[in-house]
């Protein structure tokens, strides 16, 4: 068995087992807490514009979802944004984009400082996205699947007037698609890339491309996954698709097809990319430098490929 990129998340059979989310409080309009207060007894923080800071990496697909939703819903003034350096070392995500080398609002150099301020015993991997309370400096949540759902459902008072409705009233089909796409595609590419046995890799690879084939067929007669309306699941699929040819195809050995070789998926991804909340939040430089320069087990020489040409997305 070859060495694992993240030892604690590698199962004995070589499968990649993503760690759980440590901080799972929620910001809710039903919170019993008032402005400036901490969470209520059920772990619900009050909705309060200007109070919270969303910490993201532009390289990370899980974080990219929250950036897209924040922009689509017009929440830029309600929730501030902190962007970490795409290069993560043994100390974790760094706030280097400000000349002072620390986040100007939170006052720290590393996201790990906030994790351990919130839980001094925390010894897991520090992840993005997370939402931090600027009053206390504590991490409210790093529960990335729930963050975007709550931006849609709990912050409605602060949405722009023409904000899309990303969560349909009947969620059954949405939730089923979210589960399938997470298992086989969103997390599936990581299960390919971080597998440490041939058997684990091939199982993940087969599941990934079987699901992409299903999605390719599904998009033959519709603009979006649920028909003619953009929803949360489109955002979740897009952030994997936009990284597919640049990273996952080669770096994670997901190489049966490129995205550009799926006619319907490629056309769908380009339609989404043309929307400002999608295309304007994609940073291929951050994406490529993060994956190729921080996964030393997979890419020990740290060579960052020149291609593919990002102009293909707008050609």
Q: Which residues are designated catalytic?
A: 60, 190
Cβ atoms 132, 107 nearer than 8 A: no
In which element (H, E) is residue 251 found?
A: helix 249-251
For residue 94, give Cα distances in angstroms to 101, 173, 267, 289, 302: 8, 38, 35, 14, 19
How many Å apart are CA 308 and CA 126, to the nearest integer?
Answer: 30
Q: Retrieve residue 241's tokens.
A: 């698709």
Closest CA to 36 of 144, 163, 131, 135: 135
State the DSSP code for 181.
H
In angstroms, the first-to-last Cα distance of the chain is 43
Closest CA to 8 of 20, 24, 26: 20
For residue 298, give Cα distances in angstroms to 207, 232, 250: 21, 31, 11
How many Å apart are CA 20 and CA 143, to the nearest integer?
Answer: 9
As a residue count, the chain comes to 315
* Phi, psi angles (nearest 5°) of residue 43: 75, 25
Q: Retrieve residue 5's tokens.
A: 């990129």
């Amino acid at each position: 068995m070859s060495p694992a990129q993240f030892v604690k998340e590698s199962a004995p059979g070589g499968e990649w087992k993503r760690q759980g989310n440590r901080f799972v409080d929620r910001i809710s309009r039903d919170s019993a807490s008032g402005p400036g207060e901490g969470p209520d007894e059920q772990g619900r923080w009050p909705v309060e514009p200007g109070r919270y800071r969303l910490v993201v990496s532009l390289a990370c697909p899980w974080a990219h979802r929250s950036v897209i939703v924040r922009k689509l819903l017009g929440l830029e003034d309600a929730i501030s944004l902190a962007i970490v350096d795409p290069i993560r070392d043994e100390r974790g995500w760094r706030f280097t984009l400000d000349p002072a080398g620390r986040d100007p609002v939170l006052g720290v150099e590393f996201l790990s400082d906030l994790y351990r301020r919130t839980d001094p015993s925390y010894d897991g991997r520090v992840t993005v996205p997370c939402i931090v309370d600027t009053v206390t400096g504590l991490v409210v949540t790093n529960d990335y699947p729930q963050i975007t759902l709550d931006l849609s459902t709990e912050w409605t008072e602060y949405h722009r007037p023409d904000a899309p409705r990303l969560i349909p009233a009947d969620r059954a089909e949405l939730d089923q698609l979210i589960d399938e796409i997470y298992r086989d595609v969103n997390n599936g590419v990581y299960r390919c890339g971080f597998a440490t046995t041939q058997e684990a890799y091939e199982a993940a690879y087969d599941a990934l491309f079987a699901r992409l084939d299903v999605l390719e067929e599904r998009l033959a007669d519709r603009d979006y996954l649920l028909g003619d309306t953009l929803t949360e699941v489109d955002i979740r699929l897009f952030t994997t698709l936009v990284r597919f040819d640049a990273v996952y195809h080669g770096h994670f050995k997901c190489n049966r097809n490129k995205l550009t070789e799926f006619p319907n998926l490629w056309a769908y991804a380009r339609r989404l990319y043309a929307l400002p909340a999608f295309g304007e939040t994609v940073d291929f430089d951050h994406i490529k430098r993060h994956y190729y320069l921080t996964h030393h087990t997979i890419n020990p020489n740290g060579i960052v490929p020149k291609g593919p040409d990002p102009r293909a997305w707008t050609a």
